[in-house]
Amino acid sequence: MKVIKNRKKIKRILKGSKSLSFIPTMGSLHNGHISLIKKAKRDKNKIIVSIFVNPKQFKNNRDYKSYPRNIYKDLNLLKKHKIDFVFLPSIKDIYSYKTKNKIYLNKFSKTLCGKYRPGHFEGVIDVVNRLVEIINPKKIYLGKKDFQQLILIKKHFSKNNIKIKIIECNTYRDSFGLAESSRNKSLSDNQLDIARKVAKILKKNKIIIKRNFGNYKLNNLKRQIKSLGLNKIEYLKLLNLKTLKYPKINEKFNIFIAYYLGKTRLIDNV
């Protein structure tokens, strides 16, 4: 496994690699990332993982600083999984060059998380665009847990005619149904227990909503979830995954949620 910290060096090393599979991360790796790695392994391409906690996608410096980091553990894990390249750029490496592509932010960025985290998706698209301009992969692996991010990256690639194949990966859940997230590491035992209950309620209510579409009151679900002892539900919405709008009767949909447990913000879509 080659660990490379410098932009120019990685460009030099990767120059001859035609079929790279790329997994962008902010580190603090968990089973969700491992499931992306396992999926990428099936392709037999060389795999590159980046670890870069991107300051541009955080609300403020405090948020950025408090994001969980564990670089030594991450590197050991990546070594164990026989990753070919790990890219650990500095902020200067990423942000000090002029990009080829212009950031395209589709209007879908204004809803759900975008409504509550101004500048977040712009930061995500900017960094992913910069990373792929440096790495030039054939495929990029992204999780469906961050569905809005996934769609916005897709739209940016398509607008800029970027020919990287996006491999959409299912959300990895623990045995209680809770989606893996680096932020879960910041939860107390009690908060973890609540988050697992939220996941369970969402799954159960999706079935109930399907049966009673039209009569179902989303506010009841909100009340049920809040009574578990959450600080705040930022949003709770149904969305058709294709039209990205409120679903019509008999259309497939997911329930999207963002909520706070203490200071920790969690998202999911079920």
Active site residues: 33
How many CB atoms within 10 Å of residue 75?
19
Rounded to a whole number of angstroms, the CA Rg of the chain reads 19
Binding residue for ligand PAF, selected from 54, 129, 181, 186, defined by CB under 6 A: 54
Q: Please tell me whether residue 3 adopts helix, strand or coil conformation.
A: strand
Smallest separation, CB 56 to ligand PAF (Å): 9
Rounded CA-CA distance 114/151 in Å is: 13
Residue with smaller CB distance to ligand PAF, 84 or 122:
122
Query: Which of 4, 36, 75, 128 lies at the binding interface for ligand PAF (CB under 6 A)?
Result: 128
Give the Cα separation of 225 and 242 in Å (integer). Answer: 26
Candidates 11-19, 120-128, 201-209, 254-262; binding stretch for ligand PAF (CB under 6 A): 120-128
| Burial zone of 215 (CB within 10 Å; 0-12 exposed, 13-18 middle, 19+ buried) | exposed
The nearer residue to ligand PAF, 157 or 238, going by C-beta atoms, is 157
> Does residue 28 interact with ligand PAF by CB under 6 A?
no
- Going through 115-253 in order, the beta strands assigned E by DSSP cover 139-143, 165-169, 232-239
State both tokens at 78: 């990546």
Region binding ligand PAF by CB under 6 A among candidate stretches 1-9, 23-31, 66-74, 169-177: 23-31
Is 178 a residue that touches ligand PAF (CB under 6 A)?
no
Total number of residues shown for the chain? 270
Among 124, 134, 225, 230, binds ligand PAF (CB under 6 A): 124
Binding residues with ligand PAF: total (CB under 6 A): 10
Binding site for ligand PAF (CB under 6 A): 24-26, 54, 57, 124, 127-128, 146, 149
